[in-house]
Chain A
Amino acid sequence: MFFLYLITDTATVPPSNFSKNIDKILKVYFNRKYSNKVVINVGLVLFVSEIVKIGKAFVHVGDGSAHINTQFRVVVFRPYSDEIIEGEILDCDPLKGVQISCKFFQDIYIPPKALKKGTKFDETESLWVWHFVPKDPEDVELDPIGGSKSDDDEDDENNSENDESNQETHLLYMEIGRKIRFRVNSIKFKEDLSEEKLIKPIIENNTQQNKQNSSISIENENENEKENEKENEKEKEQNSLIRDPYPKVPLIVFGSVKEDGLGLVEWWADPDEDELLDEENQDNDENEEN
């Protein structure tokens, strides 16, 4: 998830910062330059960890600041494929799927095809729901159930629905704010999302033709232009949504939740272990107080 990268770059230090503490000045300079920025084919640069080499300072004609060639190490967030990451659910969308945030990075999506078998979008609550049907009685041991107290009301509602149906379907909601575990499928940098360049010029040519074909009077022209614009916008939206519903962001991570053990962390936690963890937390709190 986190990598170290060695970067070579030149820093321009103004004469007001000429002092003995070059390390601090260079760290601050490169933090301002690189932190929270995505470098294509590298990843999201987080912060500078250390400075390795400081080269000679060159001063150019007409410029009083010193140009120093430095080598320094930087922590980069770069998830690789088949890695397992935990995050929180941010949003559910019928086209995009589930959006997840690891608090410092929020462009993680699980497309609808990569969700578990039997997940459907509930429009009343605008959440994705996993309709889980245990196949064999042996599978009941692996039966994932949301064990937190806040889910009690929903479980009661679900149980009332289950009594009516012959098969026991458990409705497991992917609620916003819950912890989720997923596997990384692929990462895409902005250069890979360049398919839209082929679509854009076609739509622009259509708008120009429609403008030329508009009627003579001013009011009619306005009405026709508005209608044509609306039609073109609809076409644009449809085309863009079909090809690429995801936002144009320099780094997108796509994940999947299909395997056993992936999905909300609650679904797979043993109830005995939850009690043990609570006891450990209480003991630790008592030790800290003492």
Chain B
Amino acid sequence: MDLQQRFKQSGMITGFEVSNLITSNRRLRGDKKGKRKITPRNPLDFETYWLEYQLLNYLDEETETYRTRSKMLSFLEKVKKYDLTNGEIIQILDTRPNNLLELYLLLTTRSREKILDQEMLELIDLSKKTYVWTDEDQIKKDKNKKRQKEKENGKGKKKKIENEKEKEKEMEMEIIKDEGENTSENEKN
């Protein structure tokens, strides 16, 4: 088979998707979540592990974790009115421009003529929203933490009912004990 037949281009990816792929691959393998540097058991796998480690360092995993799929999709929808090419959109997401100058470098000559300065500033704000930590993210994170704690403590719906049944049984036992004591006292008297 020719090289062209064996290797076919499928499309361009952002750094966000690459870091997501790496973390999902690690999860499927069963590696620990928080660690970046993992040594493989088999030395033949060394290069893949080394590459994953270097890629996560290069892609700045921390800012990528602030990104979510929903944020990226909303960004893509809002960007449609500027009529940018795919390469420009992906570069904006990867390089994260802060200035007009940095954005100007990424754009092609056609879009440099079309887009005004104010629209460029809007683009920069839109791109910042994808990786800025907002209050909504904090609320979601707190909710997830609460759910995990509830699972650990056992306050789910099923376990609530079981706990209630246990409490009722204890109450009944106490009542029986009290009645037994009362009868014993009556007998004595």
- Residues of A whose CB lies within 8 Å of any CB of B are 1-9, 24, 27-28, 31-32, 35-36, 39-42, 46-47, 49, 73, 75, 80, 83-84, 86, 102-104, 181, 183, 259-262, 268-270, 273, 280, 283-284, 287
Contacts and interface: CB of A to CB of B under 8 A. Distances in A.
Max chain B C-beta neighbours (<10 A), residue from A28, A80, A103, A273: A103
Contacts of A5: 7-10
Contacts of A46: 18, 51, 55
Given A103-B54, A273-B99, 9 more contacts: A4-B10, A4-B11, A5-B7, A8-B6, A31-B45, A36-B47, A104-B58, A268-B101, A287-B133
Q: Is the interface of B mostly helix, strand, loop or mixed?
A: helix
Interface in B4-20: 5-15, 17-18
Contacts of A261: 99, 101-102, 104-105
B82 interface: no
B126 to A, nearest CB: 17
A42 B3 contact: yes
A131 to B, nearest CB: 21
Contacts of A32: 44-45, 47-48
A235 to B, nearest CB: 37
Contact of B9 (A4, A103, A283): A4
Cβ-closest 6 pairs across A and B:
A104-B54, A4-B10, A36-B47, A103-B54, A6-B8, A35-B48
A145 B21 CA distance: 39
Q: Which of B7, B57, B132 has the most CB of A within 10 A?
A: B7
